[in-house]
Structure 1
Amino acid sequence: MNIKGKTILITGGGSGIGLEAAKQFLELGAKVIVTGRNQQKLDLAKNAYPTLVCIKSDAGSGEDALALFKKVSELGGIDILYNNAGVGVAPKNLGISSDDHFKGAEYEMQVNYLGVIRLNNLFMEMLRSRNESAIIMTTSILSIVPSLIEATYSASKTALAFYTRSLRAHLNIIGAKVKVFELLPPLVDTEMVADRDDKKMSTGQLVAGLIKGLQQDQYTIRVGDSKIIFMFNRILPNLAFSLINPKKLNSLLKS
């Protein structure tokens, strides 16, 4: 996959992984459009990287998705759709009845899974019209092994992982040239996990791994500990589960 000269849309690009990806893609000669719900973060991103195109848009909103598609079309369209936006709610104990737990799960599924399908459907014909185009899905190390403290988040990412593989196969069957990449990050140093003291990969390292995978047409891109967990889960699944779910994390379910 050639990055130079491509126009890339990054959802959730106002900070964290998305903003780092915007930075590295710009350095490779791409045109980058980022979206996000927080206008202040988008303004800061624009100040840091003046060539960015910033559009306020909620990845979980159907109305926002339609407005985003219209704006992007007016700008000339895109070659790469990077579905980076994702949300996670506070840990919940599945054994305790709670309306908040259902609402949190619904929110995660809406943004992490259904919102991605919505955008893919909106942009698919545009992407299919390009000589070289791609969709990038951000799943997770937790789509390999679930986290007990992030059960519904893990489920949303697992759903996205299965959809990603199916979409890739469907496009291949109908002869579409759209490449479908899956990025499986480990725990990354972002605001979402700022309160955790576990080992974290930097956003810079993660995006560098993503770009390397894109350039090599590596459709499943496992970075850092995601590689290790994938291998362990195949040969020593109990060990993989214990690495993802150490006792110090499980104690959060009792608090």
Structure 2
Amino acid sequence: MNLKEKTILITGGASGIGLEAAKQFLAIGTKVIITGRTQAKLDRAKKLHPALIVIKSDAGNEEDAASLFNKVKELGGIDILYNNAAVLVPPSNLGIANDKHTEGAAYEMEVNYLGVIRLNNFFMGMLQSREEAAIINTTSILSQAPSLIEATYSSSKAALASYTVSLREHLKIIGSKVKIFELIPPLVATEMTADREGKKISPEEMVKGLIHGLQKDRYTIRVGDAKLFNLINRFFPKLAFGLLNPKKGHQLLRK
């Protein structure tokens, strides 16, 4: 896929992987629009990268999604929708006996799954009108094997992974030119994973892998250890599950 002179919308683009993606896409000649829930973070991102277009928008809010679509349409539209925004409720709030369990699960599903579908539906017509267009859905290695301490987050990503495959095949059947990419990252060093132990890759390395995959039209983009994990999970699923759920991590379930 040619990325130069395209316009990309990155949800959750004011920090972490999203902000790094904005930086790297700008560097290769892509016009970048980012969204985020916090105006102060958007302002900081704009100060760092003046070429950015910033729009305050909550990926889990239906009214915000409609407003975002209208604003993007006024700006001339987009060629690529990068569904990067995601939330993870802290494990301490997701214990099976905790009364916040359902509330946290619903919040994760609303942002990580339903919010993606909502934006895809809003922008699909716009994307189909372009000569070359794409949607990028960010899942996780946890969509392949779940984390015991992040069970509902894992479930939201598993749902998104299944939806992504179905959407890609459906668009092929109807002859749509919109490309559907699934980005499967390993553990990335961001604010969301600050409390997680284990090997992490940098957002810079993560985004480099994403851009390379897009340019090669690799519809399932596995970056870093996500490639190895896929092989382990395919042939040794119990081992893969154990790698994601070391015994010392089980102590969190008792808190």
TM-score (norm 2): 0.98
Secondary structure of 2:9 counterpart: strand
CA distance in 1, matches of 2:96, 2:216: 46
1:141 aligns with 2:146: no
1:90 positional shift: 1.1
Give the Cα–Cα distance (whole angstroms) in 1 for the partners of residues 93 and 84 of structure 2.
27
% same residue: 69
Contact map agreement 2:93 2:104 (CA 8 A) in 1: no
Match of 2:81 in 1: 81
How far apart, in 2, do the equivalents of 1:95 and 1:31 lie?
A: 42
Deviation string for 1:163-193 (max 9, x for gaps)?
0000000000000000000000111001011
Q: Secondary structure at the match of 2:100?
A: helix
Match of 2:42 in 1: 42
Aligned-pair CA distance for 1:93: 8.3
Give the whole-Å Cα distance in 1 for the aligned partners of 2:145 and 2:228: 12
Partner of 1:169: 169
8 A contact 1:132–1:177 mirrored in 2 = yes
Q: CA deviation at 1:228?
A: 1.3
- Written as runs of structure 1 = structure 2, the 5 A alignment for 1:88-103 is 88-91=88-91, 96-103=96-103
Provide the C-alpha distance between the structure 2 equivalents of 1:25 and 1:251, rounded to a whole number of angstroms.
Answer: 41
Long gaps (5+) in structure 1? none
**1:128-174 Cα shifts (integer Å, max 9, x gaps):** 00000000000001011100000000000000000000000000000
For residues 100-249 of structure 1, the aligned pairs below 5 Å read 100-249=100-249
Task: Give the Cα separation in 2 of the matches to 1:227 and 1:31.
Answer: 30
- Find the residue that maps to 1:99 and give its secondary structure: coil
How far apart are residue 95 of structure 1 and its match?
6.8
Please provide the CA RMSD for this pair. 1.1
Residues 18-70 of structure 1: CA deviation (Å, up to 9, x unaligned): 00000000001000000000111100000000000000000000000000000
Partner SS for 2:54: strand
Are the counterparts in 1 of residues 146 and 155 from structure 2 also a CA contact under 8 Å? yes
Distance 2:87 2:169 in 1: 27
Distance apart, 1:122 and its partner CA: 0.2
Cα–Cα, structure 1 residues 195 and 11, in superposed 2: closer, same or farther, change >3 Å? same
CA offset at residue 17 of structure 1? Answer: 0.3
Pairwise CA distance, 1:92: 5.1
Contact 2:141/2:186 (CA < 8 Å) preserved in 1?
yes
Give the structure 2 partner of residue 22 of structure 1.
22
Give the equivalent residue in structure 2 for 1:10.
10
Task: Please give the TM-score of this superposition, normalised by the length of structure 1.
Answer: 0.98
Q: Distance in 2 between matches of 1:80 and 1:140?
A: 20
Whether the 8 Å contact between 1:9 and 1:78 is mirrored in structure 2 is yes
Deviation at 1:196, TM superposition (A): 2.4
Aligned equivalents of 1:213, 1:95: Cα separation in 2: 37
In structure 1, C-alpha distance between the alignment counterparts of 2:89 and 2:59, rounded to whole Å: 16
